[in-house]
Structure 1
Amino acid sequence: MKILLIGNYQLDAIQSMDIFASMLENYLTKLGHQVRIIRPNPWFGKLLSSAFLRKWLGYIDKFVLFPAELRQALSWADVVHICDQGNAVYVKYLRNVPHIITCHDLFPIRSGLGEFPECRTGWTGKQFQQMVMRGLNQGQKIACVSQQTQSDVLRLCSLSQSSVSVIPMGLNYPYSPMTVIESQPRLKALGIPDDCQFILHIGANHWYKNRLGVLSIFYQLILQLQQPEFYLVMVGKPMTDEMHQFIKTHNITQKVIELVEIDNESLRAIYSSATALLFPSLYEGFGWPIVEAQACGCPVFTSNRSPMNDVGGDAAIYIEPDRHKETAAEIIHNLPILKTLKSKGFVNSQKFSPEKMISEYIKLYHQAMNEKYDRQVKT
């Protein structure tokens, strides 16, 4: 099978979407399929350093130049896979080509519709999200990464239930427990003190990731625990000025360790050594860090909201992400029993194998191809 993957514009730097596209390419290629990734090239977007102007020049790359390249590539493909629903704007070029779209979440669309008062969308953003919505509504097959995302799609889009399925994400790296002998040098190189207890958080700075909430929960944890040798390790994008100000104001500078975009093996060492992962997102499309942590034997505290409580299964401890004092108390209450979660976490993480995910996508590719073939025969 010849599979054309439509990936994201590189200057948008959406790391999780780039990882997902690479996963598909690697695993499908191993199974003998021919795979190509096509994405808009940053011809104009890289000309200027101004973020504002770069954004507008990027639209030329995405919507003026890329469609011509896409049209040329379509003649090669048996099926096209749009890897991120934000690129559903390209569906209008795929009407005669078998295709599927992976929908990770509808947060930008929901924001544009006013569903999130804490996140306002400007006029141009609303226009773009309307374009994305039109593309989704014209899509042939939609694969949602969680039941929560599927529920949002069926609620907001005019798609038939039969065209919208759920394919959970698979682990994007072979995470597994790392021995102390192997992990200690890595932790030391990252600036994590020897034999310390630390809470881990992983995430970007999107508002729904609740990273300020993470800091507030940790501050409450320090106040209630009264244990000076306890740290918070924040992994992901650089913290915002507001986050740095919170750390300074609450005098926890020496307790918070910031690690920006580290490699997978270093992350595996951190997962394997952390006291627990704190993942109090307000919303998620899926929540990769939950199963990554569990695969490494790291206990998980995460939000008692879908899809986090679906992904974590019976192997996580659930908290209310906006109740910081109560969450800190819940962490302290469960510290003595965290080791009992490790075996449950291993079992739960095995539900999310990349091989299973790829197998489901291959089935969906064939369904899309058969549908298009049947329609052509009938006409």
Structure 2
Amino acid sequence: MKILLIGNYQLDAIQSMDIFASMLENYLTQLGHQVRIIRPNPWFGKMISSPNSLRKWLGYIDKFVFFPAQLRQALSWADIVHICDQGNAVYVKYLGNTPHVITCHDLFPIRSGLGEFPEYQTGWTGKQFQQMVMRGLNRAHKVACVSEQTKSDVLRLCSLSKSAVSVIPMGLNYPYTPMTAIESQPRLKALGIPQNCQFILHVGANHWYKNRLGVLSIFYQLILQLQKPEFYLVMVGKPMTDEMRQFIKMHNMTQKVIELIEIDNENLRAIYSVATALLFPSLYEGFGWPIIEAQACGCPVFTSNRSPMNEVGGEAAIYIEPDQPKETAEEIIRNLPTLKQMKSKGFINSQKFSAEKMISGYIKLYHQAINEKHDNKVKTI
């Protein structure tokens, strides 16, 4: 097949979406398919170096004035178009009769625009844009959701038929496996993690639903109850917010919290392999990649007893209430002596989420979209 992938605008720097598009390109190419990634070129967006509101509006020129013409030119080559991020569903109206698939990771921006999240308010322009996204989703040939929870949201909020919506879980985006102590210890030392210490790990960005302030609250309760001097929290991801730094300072945790900003996959594999456990108390998720990444490295997981976290973690994770720091700390302490028993369960569970299985699901969906379009064309002749 000739597969045209629509990727994200690079200046938006949505790392997880860029990783997903690269996964599709690499695996589909290995299987003999012809693959091209097309994305808006950042001509106007590059006119201003630092991110601000003007740069956002200049980016809209790149995305919605220039990119549609670029997309139309590419369509004649493709057998199937795959919009890799539902946020780009606005481009569906330019696809004409070309069979296409959209991957829906979550509907948080749409749900926020509808007022479903009191903790996060969307502005007027954001609401208008999300209405455009919704119109694109409603016109899609096929929508692949990354979890049952996302599928439930799509069927609840969109006008698509059930036959147009399916679930294709995310696969591991890197060959995560346990790293030996000989290999991992030098890496941890270079990252500033004390030798042979115990530490809780969190991996995530600063989106409000990631609950990173909640991570700090849970850890504070944990050190109050545990009273172990050599116990740390390692936070991997984007730089902390001012609010997070103030919390750390106010609770005298400066020496206990280690911040690691956007480290590479091998260093992350080393940390997963040594961590006491991953703490992933998200309020909401589309899928939750760190859950299976940790499990694949033999790292026990504490995560929210909410969908899709409990869908992804299966029987191999320990579930907590993300908005109850004291009770969560107690649950972690209660399970510390038996965490090693979770490792084998984690290995087994993570194997359900292979990249190969994900790609197989997409290839099947591509054929369905192409065949249904062909059948509909035959019926009209």
TM-score, reference length from structure 2: 0.99
Structure 1 match to 2:347: 346
1:237, 1:105 → 2: CA distance?
A: 20
Match of 2:361 in 1: 360
Is 1:171 matched with 2:172? Answer: yes
Q: Distance in 2 between matches of 1:375 and 1:124?
A: 37
How many matched pairs?
Answer: 379
Shift of 1:370: 0.5
In structure 1, C-alpha distance between the alignment counterparts of 2:220 and 2:58, rounded to whole Å: 42
Q: Which residue of 2 aligns with 1:144?
A: 145
Deviations 1:138-197 (A, max 9, x none): 000000000000000000000000000000000000000000000000000100000000
Partner of 1:109: 110
Partners of 1:260 and 1:322 lie apart in 2 by 25
Alpha-carbon distance in 2 for matches of 1:39, 1:67: 10
Number of the residue aligned with 1:28: 28
Counterpart CA distance in 2 for 1:116 and 1:293 is 29
Aligned to 2:181: 180
Aligned residue type for 1:8: N
**What residue is the counterpart of 1:17 in the other structure?**
17
Match of 2:40 in 1: 40
Displacement of 1:228 in angstroms is: 1.0
- Is the partner of 1:253 in helix, strand or coil? coil
1:377 Cα deviation after fit: 1.3
Q: By how many angstroms is 1:378 displaced? A: 1.6
Structure 1 residues without counterparts, runs of 5 or longer: none
The structure-2 alpha-carbon separation of the partners of 1:297 and 1:80, relative to structure 1 and needing over 3 Å to count, comes to same
Distance 2:22 2:51 in 1: 29
Structure 1 residues 185 and 35: alpha-carbon distance in aligned structure 2, compared to 1, 3 A threshold: same
Shift of 1:95: 2.9
Question: How much does 1:375 deviate?
Answer: 1.4
Helix, strand or coil at the partner of 1:97: coil
Q: Which residue of 2 aligns with 1:303?
A: 304
| Compared CA separation, residues 50 and 330, structure 1 to 2 (3 A) | closer
Deviations 1:116-135 (A, max 9, x none): 00000000000000000000
Q: Which amino acid aligns with 1:47?
A: M
Which stretches of structure 1, 4 residues or more, deviate above 2 A after TM superposition?
none
Q: TM-score, normalised by structure 1?
A: 1.00
Q: Which residue of 1 aligns with 2:209?
A: 208
Q: Which residues in structure 2 correspond to 1:1-379 (within 5 Å)?
A: 1-48=1-48, 49-379=50-380
The amino acid of 2:300's aligned partner reads P
2:6 partner amino acid: I
Q: Take 2:302 and 2:56, find their aligned partners in 1: how far apart are those partners?
A: 37
Q: How many Å separate the matches in 2 of 1:50 and 1:312?
A: 36
Distance (whole Å) between structure 2 residues aligned to residue 281 and residue 307 of structure 1? 10
For 1:66, what is the secondary structure of its paired residue?
helix
Secondary structure at the counterpart of residue 265 of structure 1? helix
SS at match of 1:46: helix
AA of the residue aligned to 1:40: P
1:94 to partner: Cα distance: 1.3
Structure 2: which amino acid aligns with 1:21?
Answer: A
Give CA deviations for 1:233-285 in whole Å, capped at 9, x if unaligned: 00001100000000001000000000010000000000000000000000000
> How far is 1:376 from its partner?
1.4
Could you tell me which amino acid in structure 2 is paired with residue 278 of structure 1?
L
Distance, in Å, in 2 between the alignment partners of 1:10 and 1:293 is: 28
How far does residue 50 in structure 1 lie from its aligned partner after superposition?
A: 4.9
Query: Match for 1:243: what amino acid?
Result: M
For residues 187-245 of structure 1, the C-alpha deviation after alignment (integer angstroms, 9 at most, x for no partner) is 00100000000000000000000000000000000000011110000000110000000
Q: Distance in 1 between matches of 2:296 and 2:346?
A: 7
Taking only the aligned residue pairs, the percentage that are identical comes to 87
**For structure 2, which runs of at least 5 residues remain unmatched after alignment?**
none
Distance in 1 (CA, whole Å) between partners of 2:252 and 2:74 is: 56
Cα distance in structure 1, aligned partners of 2:175 and 2:51? 38
The farther-off stretch of 107-116 and 368-377 is 368-377
Alignment-mate amino acid for residue 165 of structure 1: S
Query: Hey, what's the Cα distance between the residues in 2 that align with 1:362 and 1:256?
Result: 44
1:332 is displaced (CA, Å) by 0.4
